[in-house]
Structure 1
C-alpha cells in the first residue's frame, strides 16, 4: 500500500483534499470483488470535486467583476483626497479654486452634472452592498478600500489556484478509474483463460 496515496492524507492550503493516486492497482484493489465499490468511490469523489470546481468558478467570476469596481472607487477617492490636500496646501481664499465639476452616472446611459466644493470631500459615501450606504471620512475610505481590494485580489488568486488544483485532482481520479477498470478487464480475461469464469458465464447464460 506504500505506493498509493489515499484521499485525506494531504490537502491544499484551503483544505481541499488530495485525490488518491493509484500507481499500482494490485496494491489498491486486492480482488475483483472490490472493483465495483472502488470505481463507485472514485466517481463520487469526482462529483464532489466537480461541485467544488463549479462553486469556485462562480466565485472567480464574481471577484473579477468586483475588483474593477473597487479599483475605480479607490482611484476616485484618491483623486478627491489629492485635490483636497492640494487646495489646503495652496491656502487659497477664493472658494472657486476648490470647485470640481463632474458627471455622476445615474444609470448606463444617464448622467447628471454636479459641482463639488472642497468642503464636500471631507467624507464620501460608499455602497457596502444589500442597499447599504455609509459615510466615511475620506482617509478612512481610502484605507478601507485599499484593504478591501487587497483581500479581493488575494481571494481571486486563491480561487485560481484552487481551480487548477481541482482540475488536477479530477484528472488524477479519471486516470485512477481507467487503471482500475483496465485491471479488472485483464483479471477477467485471466480468470476466463484459467477456467475460473466458466461457472459465472454459465450462470449469466441461465439468467
Structure 2
C-alpha cells in the first residue's frame, strides 16, 4: 500500500493551526521519512497536546464573543428605542445594571447623544447615528469573527481526529513488532 497522503499533499495549515496528515500505510511512510515508530508516536502525542492548547484558546475566544454579541444587540436596541422616541417628548424609562445584580431605573429625556463603553474603563460620547453605526459595525465584526472561530474549531477537531487515528496506527505497529 502506498501512502494516501503526504504532508505536502494536504492543506498546510489554517490560520496558524498545522494540518495533520493521514497515512494509510504507516510503515512505508515512516521508512520514507526515516523515523522509527517511537519517534513518530512522540511527535504525534506532542502535536495532540498542541492542538488541545489551541482548542482551549479558541473555545475561550468563542465564549467571549458569544457573550459579547447579546450585549451589543442590547445596546443597539436601546439606541434604536432612543432614536424612535426622538421628537415625541416622551421620556424613556429603563432599568440598567449598575453592578452585577444591582439595577437602577433611569428616565432618559430626548437626547442627541449617547455614551458607549469602549472597554478598559473608557467611555465616549457619540451621536445616536454614530452610535448606531459603530454598534452595527461591532456586531457584524463579532458575528464574522465567531463564524471564523467556529470554522477554525471544526478544522482543529478534524486534525485531532486524524492525529488520534495516526497514534492508534502507530501503537498498532509498535505492538506488531
TM-score normalised to structure 1 length: 0.75
RMSD (Å) for aligned C-alpha atoms? 2.3
Asked whether 1:135 is paired with 2:125, we answer yes
* Unaligned residue ranges in structure 1 (runs of 5+): 91-96, 189-207
Q: Match for residue 163 of structure 1? A: 153
* Unaligned residue ranges in structure 2 (runs of 5+): none
User: For each residue in 1:3-30, what CA deviation from the matched residue of structure 2 results, as whole angstroms up to 9, or x when unmatched?
Assistant: 2332795245524221011211132112
Q: Which residue of 21, 36, 39 maps to 1:37?
A: 39
Task: Give the aligned length.
Answer: 175
Q: Match for residue 47 of structure 1? A: 49
Distance in 2, Cα, partners of 1:21 & 1:166: 14
Assess if the C-alpha contact under 8 Å between 1:4 and 1:28 holds in 2: no
For the pair shown, the structure with the greater C-alpha radius of gyration is 1
Structure having the higher helix fraction is 1
Assess if the C-alpha contact under 8 Å between 1:67 and 1:153 holds in 2: yes
Q: Which residue of 164, 174, 177 maps to 1:184?
A: 174
Report SS of the residue matched to 1:103: strand
TM-score normalised to structure 2 length: 0.87
Q: How does 1:58-207 map to 2 (within 5 A)?
A: 58-84=60-86, 87=87, 97-118=89-110, 120=111, 122-186=112-176, 188=177
Q: Match for residue 202 of structure 1? A: none
Structure having the higher strand fraction is 2
**How much does 1:99 deviate?**
2.8
